[in-house]
Amino acid sequence: MSLLARGGAVLLLLLLAACGTEYPQNSLSPHSDFAETIHQLYVSIFWWTMFILAVVWIILAWVLVKFRAREGDEKPRQIRGHLGLEIGWTVGPALIVIAIAIPTIQAVFATQRPVSEDAMTIEVTGHRFWWEFHYPEQGITTANELVLPVDRPVNLRLGSPDVIHSFWVPKLGGKRDVNPTVAVREGEDPKYNWLFFTPQETGYFYGQCAEFCGESHAFMSMRVLVETEEDFQAWADRWRESPGALPPAGPEDPEDETELEMAGVPAQADEPDQLEIGDDDPLVAMGRDIFLNQATCLACHAIEGTSAQGDRGPNLTLFGERTTLASGILENNPENLAAWIKDPWAFKPAAAMPGVDYDMQGTAGYWPATALSDEQVRAVAAYLLSLK
């Protein structure tokens, strides 16, 4: 194939690629009022620039043809300084800039407008390198997968305990900086940023931290699940009931423990209706016991309805329902989960979680290796995946 043909093929491919809108982080495919406002502005400015381009090119072509040098032409008349032209090419662009500024400023105000009365507030916290979502009305805390009801305005309050992050879910709008909110003087309110939009379609949307925040910034993505109102309520109810997350077995006597483990039933399982999927699986029971009684997991992670109430890491309630792991970078399945628990830094350098065989010294302080065997890791993974 000639170079030209190859080049042409590449260009054609690029052109065709531009036709698709189903790229996960396509910012030209709005699915919320916020994204729609930005999109309209973008499209209108695009067509204005195309119009100006066409006018300039037509005049250029006309001038090139009409005034091109011909055999025997005299030197054309030389002009220096022309008041009319000077005024023309100063005022013209100024008018164009004003024409662009008006809808732009309108869009800025539209996307910064104050909270509507019926908006649901969600507190979004950007951590190095994961996202935390707290729903104060529902009393829910989750991580990395934001669940929203369709057609209900949401008001995201953005803050961070460490460095600047940026919340960006291109199809729903944004991006907006997530600023550190810890360093305030006494009596001063932390300065949160807010992001306000209404998701207009159910679906699965991809997002990404859009402000460099450290080693694993590129691995700090997220998902937004927009669900029907009923599905959202059902999810919220499930979260509060936290099925599968039975209270810790915690028997004092180690003999007891083995017995219970063998039976696959924790000591306080006197509410049989809480026994759900996988609870009879001995691996799950073993994993639960390790997570809640033997390992340091609960110092950092919380699971609703158990003694695990740590808040240094993601809340793992209903973790089995999550489609992704470690802020959207891995599919949530037993293999990936076990690999993550063994060695988080293999996926996310500098993640604030120790591995099975390395201690961690970081902003979260000193944490010893979790020292779990391969079987224990598999068991903990099975337990976490049973939380649904």
Q: Taking CB within 5 to 8 Å according to partner kind, which of Cu ion, ligand HEC, none is near residue 370?
A: ligand HEC
- Cβ contacts of residue 206 below 8 Å, gap of 6+? 24, 25, 169, 170, 171, 221, 222, 223, 328
Q: What is the dihedral of CA 239, 174, 211, 17, to 10 degrees?
A: 100
Based on the shown chain and the rule CB under 6 A, indicate whether residue 297 belongs to the binding site for ligand HEC.
yes
Strand partners, 367: 360
Residues 208-237 that bind ligand HEC (CB under 6 A): none
205 secondary structure, DSSP code: E
Based on the shown chain and the rule CB under 6 A, indicate whether residue 364 belongs to the binding site for ligand HEC.
yes
Q: Taking CB within 5 to 8 Å according to partner kind, which of Cu ion, ligand HEC, none is near residue 174?
A: none
Compose the 93-132 pattern: x for residues touching ligand HEC by CB under 6 A, - for all others. Answer: ------------------------------------xx--
Contact predicate 236/138, CB 8 Å: yes
- Residue tagged 């306080």 (tokens): 268
Based on the shown chain and the rule CB under 5 A, indicate whether residue 246 belongs to the binding site for Cu ion.
no
Whichever of 39 and 134 has its CB closer to ligand HEC, that residue is 134
Count of residues interacting with Cu ion (CB under 5 A): 4
| Degrees to nearest 5, angle at CA 225 with 135 and 217 | 80
CA distance 209 to 37: 22
Based on the shown chain and the rule CB under 5 A, indicate whether residue 329 belongs to the binding site for Cu ion.
no
Contact predicate 219/240, CB 8 Å: no
Based on the shown chain and the rule CB under 6 A, indicate whether residue 338 belongs to the binding site for ligand HEC.
no
**Least Cβ distance, residue 297 to Cu ion (angstroms):** 24
CA distance 197 to 39: 14
Q: Taking CB within 5 to 8 Å according to partner kind, which of ligand HEC, Cu ion, none is near residue 40?
A: none
Residues 184-243 that bind Cu ion (CB under 5 A): 209, 213, 220
Q: Taking CB within 5 to 8 Å according to partner kind, which of ligand HEC, Cu ion, none is near residue 100?
A: none
Binder of ligand HEC out of 195, 380, 382, 385 (CB under 6 A): 380
Based on the shown chain and the rule CB under 6 A, indicate whether residue 325 belongs to the binding site for ligand HEC.
yes
User: H/E element holding 98?
Assistant: helix 83-110
User: H/E element holding 182?
Assistant: none
CA distance 348 to 63: 59
Based on the shown chain and the rule CB under 6 A, indicate whether residue 317 belongs to the binding site for ligand HEC.
no
Strand partners, 250: none
Whichever of 31 and 348 has its CB closer to ligand HEC, that residue is 348
CA-wise closest residue to 230 among 310, 173, 150: 150
Based on the shown chain and the rule CB under 6 A, indicate whether residue 301 belongs to the binding site for ligand HEC.
yes
Q: Taking CB within 5 to 8 Å according to partner kind, which of Cu ion, ligand HEC, none is near residue 143?
A: ligand HEC
Based on the shown chain and the rule CB under 6 A, indicate whether residue 294 belongs to the binding site for ligand HEC.
no
Based on the shown chain and the rule CB under 5 A, indicate whether residue 292 belongs to the binding site for Cu ion.
no
User: H/E element holding 183?
Assistant: none
| Three-state secondary structure call for residue 35 | helix
Binder of Cu ion out of 127, 157, 165, 348 (CB under 5 A): 165
- Cβ contacts of residue 155 below 8 Å, gap of 6+? 115, 119, 120, 121, 122, 194, 195, 196
Whichever of 198 and 261 has its CB closer to ligand HEC, that residue is 261
**Least Cβ distance, residue 158 to Cu ion (angstroms):** 12
Based on the shown chain and the rule CB under 6 A, indicate whether residue 244 belongs to the binding site for ligand HEC.
no
CA distance 145 to 225: 7
| Chain residues that interact with Cu ion, rule: CB under 5 A | 165, 209, 213, 220
| Chain residues that interact with ligand HEC, rule: CB under 6 A | 129-130, 143-144, 291, 295-297, 299-301, 312-314, 316, 325-327, 341, 348, 351-354, 364, 367, 370, 372, 380, 384
